[in-house]
Structure 1
Amino acid sequence: MSAVLSTHGLVARYGDFQALYGVDTELGAGECVALIGANGAGKSTFLRAVMGLLPVAREMVRLDGEPVGGTAPDRMVQKGVAIVPEGRRLFTGMSVEDNLRVAIDQAARAAGKAGARAGGKGGWTLKRVHDLFPILAEKARTPVQSLSGGQQQMVAIGRALLCQPRVLLCDEISLGLAPKVIREIYAALPEIRAAGTAVILVEQDVGLAQSASDRLYCMLEGRVTLAGKSAEISRAQIGEAYFGVGHAVA
């Protein structure tokens, strides 16, 4: 499997505090990889480092083999990487449709600079996002701050998809949501992947992460402590990697 995205000895810091220690990962085209670990393990920091939100050495992050570490986030979007950030970070005071159209405009500008890039089979359009999450068509004129948490998460995912990503970084997309809504959101992942988009999924729910992903990495204190095929890793192995001791994970 050739990696569309990979990290090589990835190190990241917040000032003098080192948060990542030599993290090696890879993501194949159309693959879903889960990143699990306790709070403070470095999962969100990993996504921020990949996205260019933290300064890292250029050779530490590669996209299709090209060193891209430290590339500005807007340039990463142009190159085909988009993020669904923790907390969604929508434009309050704007409607659902206007939030989505911001991404359409951004993708159009990126295509103008870098040449047209299809996001999968035919690219993501507003209609296609509406087909994925029909509630967004019903709520098109509704201010995003009036939506439920699950509906806001759908807007955040739709906005990222409309950037036409080949790689989608998802940071805690189930956090704080009701189980029914989580199922609806996760049900969209196969269609996203079928479009050719690879996904890195940061997730606290270990069972959900295993069922949704092809492979997983477990992190502890900024290091990868376990890596393998999701279906082949036992809960005992995850427990040991998750806590650094022989605990089981529910």
Structure 2
Amino acid sequence: MTAVLSTHGLVARYGDFQALYGVDTELHAGESVALIGANGAGKSTFLRAIMGLLPVGRDMVRLDGAPVGGTRPNEMVGKGVAIVPEGRRLFTGMSVEDNLRVAIDRAGRAGARGGWTLARLHRLFPILAEKTKVPVQSLSGGQQQMVAIGRALLCQPRVLLCDEISLGLAPKVIREIYAALPEIRAEGTAMIVVEQDVGLAQSASDRLYCMLEGRVTLTGRSAEITREAIGEAYFGVRHAMA
């Protein structure tokens, strides 16, 4: 079966600094893959490279088997790939609705098609319906994260890249956001979720990749990988995680 998204010897740099070293991954339709690793392991760089935010070789990223490496981000949206960036990066000074309509307009210009609408998004995150006219900077961190996820969904993705969506949020809000992920996947949307909480990453994913210093150090079925194996891959030493 051809992967909906795959990377092949993916290398990425920031100027003279090499951040990724020959990363091979694959993601299938409807699958959730977690990406874990310490700060600086290359996780966010990996998502940026896929999304076209960093220059990479054409054959290093493939969508449905076709090479797309280095494709511009707006064109990646048209091909069905969207990202929830670390830090949310919402348009401050604009309302919740206006932030979401930017995504609708972007998807329309890119030719993206799918079943996500404002009404459906409001069913997924009811608080957004209540906060429609509220400036996004007035929302709580959790509510802002819901807007960021909603903005990505309104781009009608077949592949959703989520970068640290639980970062800085209260446990109750994290549970609420992660409880929404199965509905997002229900229609075949595949997800890559970068997550610092290893337990949460394992519970929310089918498979897992661990990265260390720009390389994949462990991969396997999330439910089958031991904490000892993750600890060794995470730190690069035999170090069981508590």
Report Cα offsets for 1:150-185 as digits up to 9, x if no partner: 000000000000000000000000000000000000
Counterpart selection for 2:203 from 191, 207, 211: 211
Report Cα offsets for 1:46-92 as digits up to 9, x if no partner: 00000000000000000000100000000000100000000000000
Identity of aligned residues (%): 87
Q: CA deviation at 1:248?
A: 1.8
Number of aligned residues: 242
Indicate yes or no: 2:60 matched with 1:60: yes
Amino acid at match of 1:40: G
Structure 1 partner of 2:37: 37
Indicate yes or no: 2:141 matched with 1:145: no
Q: TM-score, normalised by structure 2?
A: 0.99
Q: CA deviation at 1:117?
A: 2.7
For 1:117 and 1:174, the matched residues in 2 are separated by 28
For 1:130 and 1:184, the matched residues in 2 are separated by 14
- CA-based RMSD of the aligned residues comes to 0.7
- The answer to whether the 8 Å contact 1:12/1:55 transfers is yes
Q: Helix, strand or coil: the match of 1:232? A: coil
Structure 2 partner of 1:192: 184
Q: Helix, strand or coil: the match of 2:223? A: helix
Q: CA deviation at 1:247?
A: 1.1
Query: Deviation above 6 Å: which 4+ runs of structure 1?
Result: none
Indicate yes or no: 2:109 matched with 1:117: no
Indicate yes or no: 2:165 matched with 1:173: yes
- The answer to whether the 8 Å contact 1:19/1:221 transfers is yes
Amino acid at match of 1:179: P
For 1:108 and 1:18, the matched residues in 2 are separated by 36
For 1:64 and 1:177, the matched residues in 2 are separated by 34
For 1:242 and 1:208, the matched residues in 2 are separated by 15
Q: TM-score, normalised by structure 1?
A: 0.96
Structure 2 partner of 1:129: 121
Q: CA deviation at 1:109?
A: 1.3
Indicate yes or no: 2:227 matched with 1:231: no
Structure 2 partner of 1:51: 51
For 1:102 and 1:249, the matched residues in 2 are separated by 42
Amino acid at match of 1:76: M
- The answer to whether the 8 Å contact 1:206/1:249 transfers is no
For 2:17 and 2:35, the matched residues in 1 are separated by 21
Q: CA deviation at 1:249?
A: 2.1
For 1:32 and 1:21, the matched residues in 2 are separated by 23
Report Cα offsets for 1:104-143 as digits up to 9, x if no partner: 11111122xxxx632xxxx100001100000000000000
Amino acid at match of 2:42: G
Mean Cα displacement is larger for which, 1-10 or 233-242? 1-10
For 1:249 and 1:67, the matched residues in 2 are separated by 38
Q: CA deviation at 1:39?
A: 0.2
Indicate yes or no: 2:79 matched with 1:79: yes
Amino acid at match of 1:132: L
Structure 2 partner of 1:241: 233
Q: Helix, strand or coil: the match of 2:4? A: strand
Q: CA deviation at 1:4?
A: 0.1
For 2:190 and 2:31, the matched residues in 1 are separated by 5
- The answer to whether the 8 Å contact 2:2/2:65 transfers is no
Q: Helix, strand or coil: the match of 2:157? A: coil
